[in-house]
Structure 1
Amino acid sequence: MRKSAATLLLALALPVATLAQAPVQYTVAFPNAVHHEAQVTVVFSELPAGPLQVRMARSSPGRYALHEFAKNVYAVAATDSKGNALTVSRPDPYGWDVSGHDGTVRFTYTLFGDRTDGTYAGIDAIHAHLNMPATLAYGKGQEQRPAEVKFKLPTGWQVATQLRPDATKGTYYAPHMQYLMDSPTSLGPQKVRSWQHQGRTIEMAVLHEGTDAELDAYTEKTKKIVQEAGAVFGELPAFDFGRYTFVANYLPQTSSDGMEHRNSTSVTSNRPLRGDYAVNNLGTVSHEFFHAWNVERIRPRDLEPFDFDRANMSNSLWFAEGFTQYYGDLIMRRAGIFTDDQYAQYALSGLVNAILNSPGAARYSPVQMSQQAPFVDAAAAIDPNNRGNTYLSYYLIGGANALALDMLLRQNHKTTLDAYMRAVWEQHGKEQQNYAPAKPYTLADLQRVLGQVSKDTAFAGQFFRQHILGHELPKFEQLLAPAGLLVRRARAGQVSLGTRLTYNPADSTASIGTPYLDSPLYQAGLDREDVLRKLDGQRLSSPKAVQELLAAHKPGDVVAVEYRTRGGIRTTQLTLTEDPVLEVVTYEAAKRPVTKAMKKFRADWLNGKTK
């Protein structure tokens, strides 16, 4: 973590002897794991006089909303170096003040955790998957101290973490609080696969119920992903302790998630490591490993350093997450996990359909979508919202713009998005200091580097004005044609109501979700939670019946609709429109001729970059 000017001035004013501070010592034990509890002890020593402010984080690296981790902490107590009880008060919902200490505070608490993912803590008799902000309390003013963590493990459990092990002490080390909080840890009967790539150790530490053969096959595909990701940037990062760990949990009680970290990633899913399930899991692996460069070391200035006391807003998640979304799938194709047709179906169709059919994307920019993260990134709220018409995930709007930019660079500037990412890496990612980027980027930096790589500053400025700061939509029909890829209606000639229906079998009605701006229901004046009673004179007895009814009509047909709204029962006319869902298919699948130039363009783009 970079020190502020105020911190540096304070350090200069202190005696030299005080600068080498004792580490904060943590012990995490599991005497009641079957009931999802851990016992945590933190020892703060060499403290200055006055109350110690102990806090739980309110937010977590890679997440941008508030999560209020203190809600799962109880049975708090504190003693001094002699075991004398100390006064603990509660100044706010997020922590505790400890008074009367003698320079040492031994702070203990019980932690409850029963959600295994990248944000929270999941504890049971089988394992513990710990996101550190959800697990470990910290002391205000102690953030720059190193930390040592000791895990008291049940029989048969091992540790998987990016924390540096110290075999002589039986502890795990972090240089400061920022690194500690960025270090997810999985405890349980690990199955480990390890290999060397470019002088770095890459390891998979996996909890799963499958076979060793399934894990071996999964590891081989992961190796290809690692190679292809490295090829984009020309090298692997210099992992701080020479090692990168996939902290992987595929047990049945696990929630699907992926969370990037500096020298590791937390990947969780209840899907097994076989068949199509493995492909879905590998998609998360690919996305998260790309983050080892993009967002962990190539980092936006407005996220550095991460603030654990508040929601963290960034203007650049369209790049940090969105460009990573694009590359996660592209690397799957280059690694041979997807075919061209599968890549078009699963990856390109999703990006193109999302941005071109999103009312929000037509009204708001990728920067504005990034700014919404504190409200949408696993944030909890109970009031209704209108995000269906105002928001598109920065993953999708960013990924779609990454695709568009790659096509523009390849077609018009004799370069690639790979070259752009390498240039951003060289200027804003490769140089690190104190386990943090030396030169975090701004939006202006990203535009400047694009001008350098494209050798066209006017193009770079226009692209940012129109597509990043503005909300002009890419023309994907033109952009993808040189690759022999066709953008078309997925259900051409078929009609759609343009919203989600929830069927009520008891009375053969259907409640509608939030209708999109241009949908037939929206234009007819229907709103969320209105109840459709009759459509074209017929009751809505089942989804199949409604599908058959709509199949009998064509775009432009006008049908009568009877519905119940907050003002009572109403009737109106509904003009049906063509189903807007788009898909991307290869020219081969569309039975169109494919030229040699198209094949070469596609191969240069999609084929693997490693031998």
Structure 2
Amino acid sequence: MIRKTATAFLLALPLAFCEPAAAQAPVTYTVAFPNAVHHEARVSVTFAQLPNGPLQVCMARSSPGRYALHEFAKNVYDVKATDSKGKALSISRPDPYGWDVEGHDGTVVFSYTLFGDRTDGTYAGIDVRHAHLNIPATLAYARGLEQRPAEVKFDLPTGWQVASQLRPDAAKGTWYAPNLQYLMDSPTSLGPQKIRTWKEQGRTIEMQVLHEGTDAELDSYVAQAKKVVKEAAAVFGELPEYDFGRYTFVANYLPQTSGDGMEHRNSTSLTSNRPLRGAGALDNLGTVSHEFFHSWNVERIRPKDLEPFDFDRANMSSNLWFAEGFTQYYGELLLRRAGAYTDQQYYEEALNGLVNSILLSPGAAKYSPVQMSQQAPFVDAAAAIDPNNRTNTYLSYYYIGGANALALDLELRANHKTTLDAFMRAVWQQHGKPQRNYAPERPYTIPDLQRVLGEVSKDTAFAGRFFREHIYGHELPKFEQLLAPAGLQLRKAKAGQASLGLNRFQFLPDSSGALLPSTSIIGSPLYVAGLDREDVLLKLDGQPLKRAKVLQQLLAKHKPGDVVPLEVRARDGVRTVQIKLQEDSMLEVVPLPTATRQQLAFRKEWLSGKAK
């Protein structure tokens, strides 16, 4: 059976049915947890005021903020459908992610059991302590009814509360979304919430948290988050006009959760098994910083090629270098401006990662940020079992975009008497702030970003060259020159030390050698010697490689350029090859002890807090 497209289905509707969506019967859901101990929810959805003909019900195949396919229907079973009188209806399965329901009387009550045991920003995690629900992984929808409002009733176990950007309706005991796009963009956490609420620029910001720590730890964490919120607002000059007047951090910090952060229009889903103290608190705060910046960049400053989001397919964008990459840069910078990082921590935790990733990645020298963005459907939590060569062909759009954001910020400050902050504010004013019907009025294209850069820098030739060389092209930033005005030096982190390259190893549990788990890096000694994935390094210079410390000690006895014998077990058997060691290529950013007053002032203006 060939399924109709949504457009064809709408064209087939009778004229009497073509009234405004808001005036039509809302789609109503009930979500209950009679078997939460075994990670199940029971979901019922009522579709009313339907036209004649089959109702096409489906589960989403992708999720806002994720770009690969996830096929959420795989966790749905025990499907039933009845009409308004409780009569069982005929259900057929035209494809793996949908159901056709026939013979209804204008109403379909569609119910099913949902299994979910992964608590993160993509899936559903259900147990006796909580339920963390990504809505595309949880709620089925009907084609042709996408513009109808939705109401969700959560049948909660004792002691649980709801954390969501959905609008509560206390009189009905339901949670409201104006349409399917908003519903699918609204992660919801159910459990014994710890709630902290504050006002910022007249907006309500709330953090609703599930965690095992103390109230004092949560209060300290929220105090830091408030500073991050202020610094993010300072970049753009204002907070967005959040729908329904509030922004919600939907946070789950329980041991069973998987580390993740996922941005949404008026909320963010935060999941981590790290506690809100020590290094765990700082790590979690980094996710808060990154995801909150998204409430401007990607949620309202939105690329045209992601608007509207399509739940039926993988969503490819050429703009993730900006949407995610520039956000990656600011997520770390805001931690420094908010005082969560010292200058030294910022160099070590942020700058070193960005600089090393782009300058040492073989992929970054081959492919542009635009091309890396287009790879998202294959890498953004996408599942595949065949080996790949991404070690040599790919660099995450987070890092290639973040490194170019760093380079552009330094270039604007040094040579154009402006900043990346000013550029982001201009993009916000032109392409983010104008909103209508819970969506951007003017989603951007890459030429739009180039035009705004020309306006802010007052140099259209520079803007054209930057995009041509660094965004459409793959020319690498000259960080040694770019960092100098800030009194920072780029140097080899382990100058003079011998290395086998940046390849990673897995030392075997029986201490028989070091496995090369992925393809060897182009240009490395192992690559030049013809070694590759699944080869095992047995002996270096005649010494067995039992553990990582042994390899380090052996390399320390040599210098770059030395040729040493390496015994390996490869697919063609055990053999010995001659390896020419190279200098360790890792880089680090360090402050110059002789930095001038002008350089120190440049650095301070760049890294210091901007919030009033």
What TM-score results when the alignment is normalised by the length of structure 1?
A: 0.97
Question: Given residue 110 of structure 1, which amino acid in structure 2 is its aligned partner?
Answer: T
Give distance in 1, aligned partners of 2:608 and 2:10: 49
| Equivalent residue number for residue 506 of structure 1 | 510
SS in 2 for 1:31: strand
- Paired position in structure 2 for 1:304: 307
Aligned partners of 1:17 and 1:71: how far apart in 2? 35
Give the conservation status (yes or no) of the 8 Å contact 1:43–1:106: yes
CA distance in 1, matches of 2:195, 2:327: 26
Q: CA deviation at 1:527?
A: 1.1
Q: Which amino acid in structure 1 is aligned with residue 595 of structure 2?
A: V
Find the residue that maps to 2:464 and give its secondary structure: helix
SS at match of 2:496: coil
Deviation, 1:584, is 1.3
Q: Partner of 1:172 in structure 2?
A: 175
- Tell me what 2:528 maps to: 523
The change in CA–CA distance for 1:11 and 1:488 in structure 2 (over 3 A counts) is farther
Q: How far, CA to CA, are the matches of 1:95 and 1:393 in structure 2?
A: 33
Q: Using a 3 Å threshold, how does the CA distance of structure 1 residues 110 and 7 change in structure 2: closer, same or farther?
A: closer
Q: Deviations over 1:439-463 (max 9, x none)?
A: 0000111111111111111100100
- Kindly state the Cα deviation for residue 570 of structure 1 after the two structures are TM-superposed: 2.5
Matches within 5 A, 1:180-219: 180-219=183-222
Check 1:599–1:112 CA distance in 2 against 1; reply closer, same or farther (3 A cut): same
In 2, Cα distance between equivalents of 1:507 and 1:606? 46
Aligned-partner SS, 1:311: coil
**Residue matched to 1:583:** 588
Amino acid at match of 2:572: G
Aligned-pair CA distance for 1:541: 2.2
Identify if the C-alpha distance between structure 1 residues 166 and 53 changes in structure 2 by more than 3 Å, giving closer, same or farther: same
Decide which of 545, 550, 567 is 1:545's aligned counterpart: 550
Match of 1:265? 268
Listed one character per residue, the Cα deviations across residues 78-111 of structure 1 (whole Å, up to 9, x for unaligned) are 0000000000111110011111100000000000
Shift of 1:9: 8.5
* Distance verdict in 2 for CA 1:204–1:520, change over 3 Å: same
Q: Distance in 2 between matches of 1:203 and 1:148?
A: 22
2:605 is aligned to: 604
In structure 2, distance between residues paired with 1:247 and 1:76? 30
Write the distance in 2 (CA, Å) between the matches of 1:567 and 1:171: 65
Aligned with 1:361: secondary structure?
helix
Q: C-alpha deviations, 1:101-146, integer Å up to 9, x for none?
A: 0000000000000000000000000000000000000001110000
Name the aligned partner's letter for residue 501 of structure 1.
F
Between the aligned partners of 1:538 and 1:429, the Cα distance in structure 2 is 61
Indicate the SS of the match to 1:27: strand
* Percent identical residues: 75
1:277-316 counterparts in 2 under 5 A? 277-316=280-319
Q: By how many angstroms is 1:535 displaced?
A: 1.4
Deviations 1:239-284 (A, max 9, x none): 0110000000001111100000000000010011111110000000
- Match for 1:512: what amino acid? L
Please give the alpha-carbon distance, in whole angstroms, between the structure 2 residues aligned to 1:420 and 1:170. Answer: 44
CA distance in 1, matches of 2:602, 2:355: 19
- Listed as ranges, the matches of 1:357-506 within 5 Å are 357-498=360-501, 499-506=503-510
2-side partners of 1:605 and 1:116: how far apart?
Answer: 37
Instruction: Spell out structure 1 runs of 4+ moving beyond 6 A.
Output: 4-12
| Structure 2, unpaired ranges of 5+ | 1-5
Native 8 Å contact 2:14 2:51 kept in 1: no
- Residues 1:244 and 1:7: Cα distance change in structure 2 (over 3 Å): farther
Distance in 2, Cα, partners of 1:586 & 1:296: 36
Uncovered stretches (5+) of structure 1, i.e. residues with no partner: none
Alpha-carbon offset, residue 510 of structure 1: 1.9
> CA–CA distance in 1 between the matches of 2:52 and 2:125?
36
The answer for the alignment partner of 2:80 in structure 1 is 77
Which of 152, 163, 168 is the equivalent residue of 1:149?
152
**1:477-531 C-alpha deviation (Å, 9 max, x unpaired):** 1101111112111111112212112223536222213211011100111111112
Conserved? CA contact 1:335–1:608, under 8 Å: yes
**RMSD, matched Cα:** 1.6
Q: Does the alignment pair 1:24 with 2:27?
A: yes
Check the 8 A contact 2:10/2:144 in 1, yes or no. no
Q: Quick one: distance in 2 between partners of 1:5 and 1:150?
A: 30
Distance 2:464 2:217 in 1: 48
Deviation at 1:17, TM superposition (A): 4.6
Question: Contact 1:505 / 1:542 at 8 angstroms: preserved in 2?
Answer: no
Shift in Å, 1:12: 11
Distance 1:440 1:62, change over 3 A: same
TM-score (norm 2): 0.97
Q: Is the 8 A contact 2:325 2:400 kept in 1?
A: yes
Deviation digits for residues 223-242 of structure 1 (CA, Å, limit 9, x no counterpart): 10110000000000000110
Q: Is the 8 A contact 2:511 2:547 kept in 1?
A: no
Q: Partners in 2 of 1:111 and 1:12 — Cα distance?
A: 34
State the one-letter code of the partner of 2:253.
Y
